[in-house]
Amino acid sequence: MKRLLFTWCRGVKGLKMSATQIEEVSSRLTNLCPHIPSSFARRPRELKELERWKATEYRQFMLYTGKFVLKGVLTEEFYDHFMAFSVAMNILVSPALVDNHWKYAADLLRFFVERGREIYGNQFLIYNVHSMLNIAEDAVTFKGLDNCSAFKFENCLQTIKRKVRSGRCPLSQVVKRLEECSVQPMEYGRQKSNSSFILNRCECHEVIEERDGSQLCCVFQHPEPLFSVPCHSKLIGVLKFKINDTVLRWIPKDNLKQSAIKTPVSEKTGHSS
């Protein structure tokens, strides 16, 4: 993902975006900030700070925000090439999808590598890009790429650091705070960005009230695909709903385990607005 972004923003003429296009993508990224759940270690940043992006930010762009902010900015050829990569990685990080769809993801990554050479030239084929041809097999072996990734440890460092209040006995402080967290019940977050969940990969729920172990949710009706290339977006749990087409329903709290990002999109173009 890093190589693609640097090519689009810092590359040669004919491959990189114009200053206006870069500003448009940056604006869309910052507009997404209020909609990103607190479970993400970082909020989206502008492309002018690309050199300072962390690995978790490239991952967020690859899996979640890129498909919204690049639509209508990149040419169709460049966008479809990126989407093949993004959809493949969405499949491979998901334990629920990887068993049945890993071969499709492998085909997408093969297309990504071969087409990337045609679009960006032989210099595109560095070792990290070439390794994409074998990564699907690793995903099957470990039941999802997140099970052999260090991102979960990196994301947890920020939480641990916040538990240290002074420089005296930091290890003791961390152990005591973690022990306190283990005996305290988890509370439902009241922030708007933390109130969206998805069930069965096609039901989107927004929590508006909690009572006696259940949550009153706005359930969005009649989902539509956000995109159909390279596949129906429902496969990776990306759907479009009308904000006024909802019903209220009480849902057991334990059923809402998979959080979702809910963001406004343009009805005509499908990009974030």
pLDDT per position as a tens digit, 69-114: 999 999 999 999 999 999 999 999 999 999 999 999 999 999 999 9
pLDDT at 192 over 60: yes
Q: Give residue 182's pLDDT.
A: 66
The two three-digit tokens of residue 219, written as one number: 């359930």
Position 57 confidence tier, pLDDT thresholds 50, 70, 90: very high
The two three-digit tokens of residue 243, written as one number: 């904000």
The two three-digit tokens of residue 55, written as one number: 């690995």
**pLDDT tens digit string along 221-259?**
999 999 999 999 999 999 999 988 999 999 998 888 788
Q: Which helix (H) or strand (E) holds 249?
A: strand 246-252
pTM of the model: 0.85
The burial of 90, by beta-carbon neighbours within 10 Å (0-12 exposed, 13-18 middle, 19 or more buried), is given as buried
Under a CB-based contact definition with an 8 Å cutoff, are residues 261 and 64 in contact? yes
d(CA 151, CA 56) in angstroms, rounded, equals: 7
Q: Give residue 32's pLDDT.
A: 95
Map 59-104 to HEC letters.
HHHHHHHHHHHCCCCCCHHHHHHHHHHHHHHHHHCCHHHHHHHHHH
Q: Give residue 108's pLDDT.
A: 98
Q: Give residue 113's pLDDT.
A: 97
Under a CB-based contact definition with an 8 Å cutoff, are residues 27 and 83 in contact? no
Mean pLDDT score, 29-50: 93
Beta pairing partners, 199: 203
**pLDDT tens digit string along 151-175?**
776 667 777 788 888 888 888 988 8
Nearby residues of 268 by Cβ (< 8 Å), 6 or more positions away: none
Q: Give residue 41's pLDDT.
A: 81
- Domain-wise residue ranges, the chain: 2-147, 192-255
Q: Give residue 187's pLDDT.
A: 47
Residue type, 17: M
Q: Give residue 155's pLDDT.
A: 65
DSSP state of 17: P
d(CA 158, CA 39) in angstroms, rounded, equals: 11
Nearby residues of 62 by Cβ (< 8 Å), 6 or more positions away: 1, 85, 86, 89
Within its chain, how far is the Cα of 210 from the centroid?
Answer: 27
